[in-house]
Structure 1
Amino acid sequence: DMVIIPYKDRLALFAKYLQQLVMESLGKEKDLDGKTVHQGIAVYGNKGSTDQHAYVEQLRDGVLNFFVTFIEVCKDRRGKRFEVEDGITSGDYLQGFLRGTRSALYESGRESITISIPEMNAFNLGALIALYERAVGFYGSLVHINAYDQPGVEAGKKAATRLLQLQKQVTEKLATDQEKTAEEIARSIDADPEDVFHVLRHLASNDPQIKLMPGEATVDDRFSLGEKA
């Protein structure tokens, strides 16, 4: 796993960006030769200053299946420094949290790297993005996969399109067949009963015309289309 811990409020969403970049680019079933390889790296992380307590315990004492990258911003802020107590600024606390967390991981045999940028601005943010985009491309080449296609994402979009088409079929069927179970409707339109049930439940929860009549068990629930108000 790849853990990203930035110590700057303005980088709070950076781990989410890297999650999309790395997992979409490197999560592949096939390599360039068509062989099944199941490549991929799981990415998670958040703002170190407030969210490190959510996962540092596991990083220090749990399963060692990850590498950690700390992101340090040397300049605290522009303008007047903000002291949270005499002689100690919020930036001092951030530095303490970063170094302390890194030391705690090291003491437990957990290695990490730290990327330092002088200050948080558009140029340095662009440099971070460029660094990871190029690293992802190189990694894809090393493991012999295409990091620039997205068959998994496309499969999800196609499945969503099929479900929307199924919803239209189900609604049309309800107009002629009243008080039917999901399984009965599914058989009549040659569809998957589970998909039909979830479509019907969604419709009954959001469309006042679709009525749900609970049965003794969920599979016995019946659905009907009421008249327009």
Structure 2
Amino acid sequence: LNFFITFIEVRKDRRGERFDVEDGITSGDYLEGFLRGTRSALYESGRESITISIPEVNAFNLGMLIALYERAVGFYGSLVNINAYDQPGVEAGKKAATKLLQLQKQVSEKLLPGRGQAAEEIARAIDADPEDVFHVLRHLASNNPQIKLEPAEEPADDRFSFEEER
């Protein structure tokens, strides 16, 4: 087959204090187990894989991985005689991103000061996909201090509102 799987292993689970999800076991321990278990299962079924290990997630290591993959994509494209940076999927992705940014503007305009609304309510008002609207709202609430999230028991019931600057 003309592919292999790349695993990225982060050696340091987290900054700060250790947090056990079970007695003596962290979520990082689970992730390491999943990585090693999946890698072994692939090997046993004849699938190729490589593992890149980084000491921790930080700006330098993430930038290094991005640069590595940019070069690998270009190099692979030259091996199979294609322009890896001019593919139909890339253009489709750009068009989809443009649509999502337009949706973000529509969603932002529908947010009301002090009145929380669920994603589905906003989606109906602008005739959009509720899941897309939900993800736009989560993004806005995470990155714009004026967009407030009131979490509910179920994510579909989360309420979002706009808080005017004082």
- Normalising by structure 2, we get a TM-score of 0.49
Q: Which has the larger radius of gyration?
A: 1
TM-score by length of 1: 0.37
